[in-house]
Amino acid sequence: MKRTEIKQLLTEEKVGEKVTIKGWVKAFRANRFIQLNDGSTINHIQCVVDFESMDKAVLDRVTIGSAVSISGAVVASQGSGQSIEVEVETIEIIGDAHPDEVSKTILQPKKHSLEFLREQAHLRFRTNLGGAVFRIRHAVSYAIHKYFNDNGYYYIHTPIITGSDAEGAGEMFRVSTLDPKNPPLKEDGSVNWEEDFFGKETNLTVSGQLEAELAALALGKVYTFGPTFRAENSNTARHLAEFWMIEPEVAFADIHDNMDLAEDFLSYICKYVMENNAEDLQFLHDREVKEDSQKPQAERNEMPLMDRLKFVVDNDFARITYTEAIEILQNSKPYKKKKFKFPVEWGLDLQSEHERFLVEKHFKKPVIIVDYPASFKAFYMRLNEDGKTVAAMDILFPGIGEIIGGSQREERYDVLKKKIDEFNIPQEELWWYLETRKFGTVPHAGFGLGFERMVMFVTGMTNIRDVIPFPRTPKKAEF
């Protein structure tokens, strides 16, 4: 008999029909009730066994974690909690899971710490939490492609191996085929990269933006969505060494168009997940409410998960300049009471404690900060009239901090050339980028959304390692 997926079975509720379902055993209670899940939905189907009439040797192998195929009739459920169940006629064991082995793992049905879950990435997808998070991660990814496709953007695949440092932060992973023990040397003793695979130094990309700009200056509206690598040694709950970034780039657009796009885009994603992942979202929502109830008041979320998503959809983001942000911070209680660890001064970058204050305490909603000092922002951002700030924007989210970084780009050849020189970026690294400003240059803008930070926001997870299947962080590349 053709297999029916549990999601379909629970949606259609075809009482009386004979079905075959395949999945993993979540629980087997009282020698009678098998809870089965196949990953298609967070919900399990209850299969009811008539113990007396079944082969005991087979029933013995129906243990937590084992894979089984069950055939039987769909009936209205007697118990509460589900509207239908399956009356088991036959059970076939597809794959055993030995209880002794299972008892040492996160498959054991009880509460496990997130740390323990992370150590078992090979089984993490099987947990209710892992299933909910990774189904939503998929939905967010799909929503992003749908949003851009529906709005006339083209998906551009930018290279993963690059010869330039787009962000100029020097936090890159080297790509080389040279023998590290015995590299070819030049006369002065330095490594001769000309003998390397690409005939020059290459790295894993930190951003697809520069290449996306080339495409935007021909196709008009484009976006990238790919893996991004940063060798920054920050072991925080918001940083990964390998993460995914979405970077739209739009020709004939300025910083205001950029803000409008970002706000509309982020709202769309929240709305999409609310409409399409209701059950997984409810699970995560309830889980958070329960966890919060066990925390001291000060550590609880101001709003529960679903309300936070709705809030983003229903409300405009606050928009302020960097200069205004500095003023708000300098007039704040924590500043006056010397509670901030880092100084607040025009010209210094905002630290995460400052961003959190603005978003979580002052505005209590997403905030877009624009017009940052040129001194600590990337070379490609457009210089404002004042000569000291650039048309940069950061979007800060409650509980997350910076979720988007973007800018209007410097489209003026002379100004850009000067910047590249000031930043000591070698011409041979970026000549192709500079060239675009010679052939019909136009105002253009774009931004980068950290995919995992967005998934954190919509799932309510507070550690970025819990929203990517195989996290890469300093000293960790297991699995």
Interface characters, 159-198, with ligand 4AD (x: CB under 6 A): -------xx-------------------------------
Q: Which does 446 bind (CB under 5 to 8 A by kind): ligand 4AD, Mg ion, none?
A: ligand 4AD
**Rule CB under 6 A: is residue 284 a binding residue for ligand 4AD?**
no
Q: How far is the CB of 78 from ligand 4AD (least distance, A)?
A: 49
Minimum distance of Mg ion from residue 167's CB (angstroms): 8
CB of 386: closest distance to Mg ion in angstroms? 21
Q: Which of 384, 388, 379 is nearest to 417 (CA)?
A: 379
- Please report how many Cα atoms fall inside a 13 Å half-sphere around the Cα of residue 184, on the Cβ side: 11
Nearest to 63 by CA among 88, 95, 90: 95
**Per rule CB under 6 A, is residue 272 in the interface with ligand 4AD?**
no
Q: Which of 366, 448 has the CB closer to ligand 4AD?
A: 448
Binding-residue total with ligand 4AD (CB under 6 A): 23
In sequence order, what are the residues at sequence separation of 6 or more whose Cβ sits closer than 8 angstroms to the Cβ of residue 36? 6, 21, 23, 24, 25, 26, 44, 45, 46, 47, 68, 70
Report the residue number, 6 or 240, with the smaller CB distance to ligand 4AD: 240
Site for Mg ion in 107-146 (CB under 5 A): none
354 binds, among Mg ion, ligand 4AD, none (CB under 5 to 8 A by kind): none
Residue 240 interface partner, choices Mg ion, ligand 4AD, none, CB cut-off 5-8 Å depending on type: ligand 4AD
The angle subtended at Cα 164 by Cα 163 and Cα 167, nearest 5°, is 150
Name the strands in the sheet holding 202-204, side by side, starting at the edge strand that comes first in the sequence: 161-162, 202-204, 174-175
What CA–CA distance (Å, rounded) separates 266 from 453? 12
Q: Which residues neighbour 439 within 8 Å (Cβ) at sequence distance 6 or greater? A: none
Out of 196, 371, 410, 452, point to the residue binding ligand 4AD (CB under 6 A). Answer: 452
* Candidate list 37, 209, 301, 332; residue touching ligand 4AD; CB under 6 A: 209
Stretch that binds Mg ion, among 158-166, 237-245, 348-356, 399-407 (CB under 5 A): 399-407
What is the distance of C-alpha 401 from the center of its chain? 13
Does 405 help bind Mg ion (rule: CB under 5 A)?
yes
From the list Mg ion, ligand 4AD, none, partner contacted by residue 471 (C-beta under 5 to 8 A by kind):
none
Taking residues 234 to 253 in sequence order and writing x for each that binds ligand 4AD by CB under 6 A, - otherwise, the string is -----xx--x-x-x------
Residue 448's binding partner among ligand 4AD, Mg ion, none (Cβ under 5 to 8 angstroms by kind) is ligand 4AD
Choose between 332 and 407: whose C-beta lies nearer to ligand 4AD: 407
Residue 370 contacts residue 392 (beta carbons within 8 Å): yes
Contact 411, 380 (CB under 8 A): no
Nearest distance in Å: CB 447, ligand 4AD:
5
* Residue 230 sits in the site that holds ligand 4AD (CB under 6 A): yes
> Residue 35 and residue 77: Cα distance in Å, rounded?
13
**Minimum separation from the CB atom of position 440 to ligand 4AD (A):** 21
Q: Which residues of 87-115 are buried (b: 16+ CB within 10 A; e: fewer)?
A: ebeebebeeebeeeebeebbbeeeebeee
With contacts defined by CB under 6 A, name the span among 133-141, 338-346, 348-356, 443-451 that binds ligand 4AD.
Answer: 443-451
Q: Determine, following the binding rule CB under 6 A, whether residue 453 of this chain makes contact with ligand 4AD.
A: yes
Judged by CB under 5 A, the stretch of 74-82, 87-95, 403-411, 413-421 that binds Mg ion is: 403-411
Residue 446 near Mg ion by CB under 5 A: no
Specify the 3-state DSSP secondary structure of 124: helix
Residues ≥6 apart with Cβ < 8 Å to 212: 156, 158, 222, 223, 224, 247, 248, 249, 446
Q: Which does 245 bind (CB under 5 to 8 A by kind): ligand 4AD, Mg ion, none?
A: ligand 4AD
**Strand spans (E) along 14-107:** 18-29, 33-37, 45-48, 67-76, 84-95
DSSP 359: I
Distance CA 413, CA 435 (A): 8
Single out the residue of 344, 278, 351, 343 nearest to residue 309, CA to CA: 278
Q: Confirm or reject binding of residue 226 to ligand 4AD (CB under 6 A).
A: no
Distance (Å, whole) CA 271 – CA 314: 10
- Nearer to Mg ion (CB atom), residue 273 or residue 395: 395
Nearest CA-CA partner of 23 in 53, 64, 74: 64
Instruction: Give the contact letters, 367-406, x = binds to ligand 4AD (CB under 6 A), - = no.
Output: -----------------------------------xxxxx
Residue 247 binding partner per list ligand 4AD, Mg ion, none, with a CB distance cut-off of 5 to 8 Å that depends on partner kind: ligand 4AD
Beta strands in 230-348 (DSSP E): 242-251, 318-321
Closest CA to 88 of 43, 32, 15, 139: 32
* Minimum CB distance to Mg ion, residue 377 (Å): 9
What residues contact residue 60 under an 8 Å CB cut-off, 6+ apart? none
Using CB under 6 A, list all residues that contact ligand 4AD. Answer: 166-167, 207, 209, 230, 232, 239-240, 243, 245, 247, 402-407, 446-448, 450, 452-453
